Amino acid sequence: MRQQGPEFSRPLEVARVGPQGSRERLNATAPECTALARRLQVPAVHAVSADLNVRPWRGGGYKVTGEVEADIDQVSVISLETFRSTVRFPVERYFLTHGGGDSEEDIDVIEDGEIDLGEVAAETLGLELDPYPRKPGEAFETPAGEGKAEEEPAPAKVSPFAVLKNRDKEGG
């Protein structure tokens, strides 16, 4: 089975990033949006764009900041209806070459002299999308007659240290 590449790939050669940094604007094509919808497990992705700044960071590394925006269809966990929404998420990622900080778990590795900014955008969407989306204004309502247990007062919490406190009083 051959390994498939990223659905939304926009490699940036880090050698072309100057000391002042580089501003990159990305837009997904229609086929890339279709592939991203499969990856994100949503009914449709209509558009994805990213406005990213890549700046030198920590002697040979790079910091990527900016924003990812997507126009997507999601399925409400309450009504199971499909709804369309626009989502925006901030991006802040750090990249170093091999051996430049492998012990730091929040730092990605620069591979073959490139940072795939499209994959950064796709990963940000995948991590930030609400796993339990709701249509705007939608709320879960308990059917009539099923809310009785909530009306009863909750039992008082007993501290796990109460047993020790009582043991000290008994002289033990």
CA 63/CA 95 separation, integer angstroms = 6
Residue 162: pLDDT band with limits 50, 70, 90:
low
**Edge-first strand listing for the sheet containing 44-57:** 22-27, 44-57, 61-75, 82-96, 107-109
Averaged pLDDT of the chain: 85
- Identify whether the C-beta of residue 54 lies closer than 8 Å to the C-beta of residue 24: yes
- Average pLDDT of span 157-161: 66
pLDDT in tens, 106-122: 789 998 999 999 999 99
| The predicted structure's pLDDT at residue 1 | 39
d(CA 83, CA 133): 9
Burial 133-171 (b: 16+ CB within 10 A, else e): bebeeeeeeeeeeeeeeeeeeeeeeeeeeeeeeeeeeee
List, for residues 44-65, the tens digit of each pLDDT value: 999 999 999 999 998 789 999 9
Where residue 14 falls among pLDDT bands split at 50, 70, 90? very high
Q: Give the rounded distance of the alpha carbon of 171 from its chain centre.
A: 55
How high is the pLDDT of residue 138? 82
Q: Degrees (nearest 5) of the Cα angle 118, 120, 123?
A: 110
DSSP letter for each residue of 64-122: EEEEEEEEEEEE-TTT--EEEEEEEEEEEEEEE-TTSSTT-TTEEEPBTTEEEHHHHHH
The neighbouring-strand residues paired with 121 are none
Q: For 67-94, write each residue's pLDDT tens digit.
A: 999 999 999 999 999 999 999 999 999 9
**Terminal C-alpha separation, the chain:** 67
Which pTM does this prediction carry? 0.75
